[in-house]
Amino acid sequence: MDDYLRAAVLGLVQALTEFLPISSSGHLVLAGHILGERANSLTFDVGLHVGTLIAVLAYFWREWVAIVFGGLRDILRHGPRIDRWQPHSRLGLWIVLGTLPAVVLGALFDNAIEEHLRQAWLVASLLIVFALVLEVADRAAARRYDLEAVGPANALAIGLAQAVALVPGVSRSGATISAARGLGFDRAVAARFSFLLSAPAVLGAATLKLTDAVRGTEDVSWGPMALGALVSAVAGAAVIHWLLGYLQSHGLRPFVWYRLAAGVAVLAVAAVSTR
């Protein structure tokens, strides 16, 4: 398959699966089995991460402006007296706090995850297991907190869920939305915080991948990389917009059924192929 076509396909897969709670890393592992190992090259890794980051930054640009400039203003005015900070400033602090678990665990276990936890059967199993987690968390949520209710404890709990999603098949958005729902947050609010929380993690991953691409020995195809980023960014922003609207009046059950069906299908294919 031509690299440009492969980049466009992977960009679309990344956009759909990064923001929907169905596991982008898991689907990209499976895409590698279908499209060939070339699909896991630095060219596509960098492009897809950059596209995802652009989508989150562009779609929520008003929130980011308020978080950055409001945070700087409140730090200068009030210092560590967080109770006097504006809501967007505190939200920025909770995003930073919620990012720490993924940073620490990613630094410790990234190589082990890449080497040992990318098998198709494991991805399929985790798609099924965390489908059930998503269903239980969504059904158990009785309260309807908004973003202002995010505090240090909630941010760390949701951040730990994001760290678990370093394992392919778990789903970063699925894990963080499940955690937020389990803590009592409204569905759309849970998704919104999940998307905002993803930005620092994706920025870090994109920076590392880009550094590897520039310094490494692998030839990077900059044209396909740019196309993959563009497709991922445009489609990603559209998916964010659709999901936030959808969750205003719908539950997460369709994504649960999709994960179950996908997991069972992959396990069946893996079982047949090993005979």
Cα distances (angstroms) measured from residue 106 to each of 6, 110, 117, 143, 177? 28, 5, 13, 32, 20
Number of domains in the chain: 1
HEC profile for the chain? CCHHHHHHHHHHHHHHHHHCCCCHHHHHHHHHHHHCHHHHCHHHHHHHHHHHHHHHHHHCHHHHHHHHHHHHHHHHHHCCCHHHCCHHHHHHHHHHHHHHHHHHHHHHHHHHHHHHCCCHHHHHHHHHHHHHHHHHHHHHCCCCECHHHCCHHHHHHHHHHHHHCCCCCCCHHHHHHHHHHHCCECHHHHHHHHHHHHHHHHHHHHHHHHHHHHHCCCCCCHHHHHHHHHHHHHHHHHHHHHHHHHCCCCCCHHHHHHHHHHHHHHHHHHHHHCC
- pLDDT at res. 38: 55
Q: Which residues of the chain have pLDDT under 70?
A: 1, 32-33, 35-43, 142-143, 216-218, 273-275
Per-residue confidence (pLDDT) for residue 33, from 0 to 100? 66
| pLDDT of amino acid 271 | 79
Q: Which residues constitute the domain of residue 27?
A: 3-273
Predicted TM-score (pTM) of the model is: 0.91
219: region left, alpha or beta (phi > 0 left; psi from -120 to 50 alpha):
beta
Which pLDDT score is estimated for 218? 66
